[in-house]
Amino acid sequence: MSKIEKRPSRLHHTAYVTRDLEATRKFYEDVIGLPLVATWSESDMLFGAERVYCHVFFELADGSALAFFQFAKAEDQELFGPKMPPSPFHHVALNVDRETQDGIIERLEAAGYAAPATYVLEHGYCRSVYVTDPNGMIVEFTLDHPDAAKIAAVKAADPRGDLKRWLAGDHTSNNMFR
């Protein structure tokens, strides 16, 4: 157990760069259902130059947000992104309930998103729906297993031991929930 007494209370926001704020807005607000709650047009001295940018926030139910930047100058846009790695292991995962996950799937299909842009993976401890957003970023909508608290307690019993075993070369699966 960590010796740190206080830890951050929740995610405030996570931020990415987009080339097209309107396509990003349509995806997150119209398809996914996250309301656009703030748009900031700003100009700051950053990294040795004046940067002019727009910063938007799409709110999650807990008040945290997904945020996106778009720069006014092409050279700033190129310098700062988006540079989404073409890997499913670089993604943001958002927790949803069954009704929300089903609704997102319906809206994605209605908006023309289909495989390989979307896919479902049954992890055993959760069911995940993955989609690639207009920026090339993978977004995961995760539905916890009904016994998520019990499963989490099992995994919390010895996470360092599990990690030590894996790092020592024992790569056998320890997911008994699939």
Taking the model in full, what pTM does it have? 0.81
Single-letter code of the amino acid located at 162: D
Residue 1 lies in a domain: no
The CATH number assigned to the domain holding 32 equals 3.10.180.10
pLDDT mean over 75-85: 80
Flag whether 4 is in a domain: no
Instruction: Evaluate whether residue 175 is within a structural domain.
Output: no
Q: What is the pLDDT of residue 163?
A: 81
> Is 178 within a domain?
no
Q: What is the pLDDT of residue 40?
A: 92
Q: Is the pLDDT of residue 110 over 90?
A: yes
Q: Which domain holds residue 90?
A: 13-144
User: Is the pLDDT assigned to residue 75 strictly greater than 70?
Assistant: yes
Q: What pLDDT band is residue 1 in, cutting at 50, 70 and 90?
A: low
Task: Classify residue 87: in a domain, yes or no.
Answer: yes
Chain-centroid distance, C-alpha 147: 23
Domains identified in the chain, total number: 1
Is the pLDDT confidence value at 164 over 60?
yes
Residue 62 domain flag: yes
Whole-angstrom CA distances from 153 to 122, 150, 164 are: 20, 5, 19
- Flag whether 3 is in a domain: no
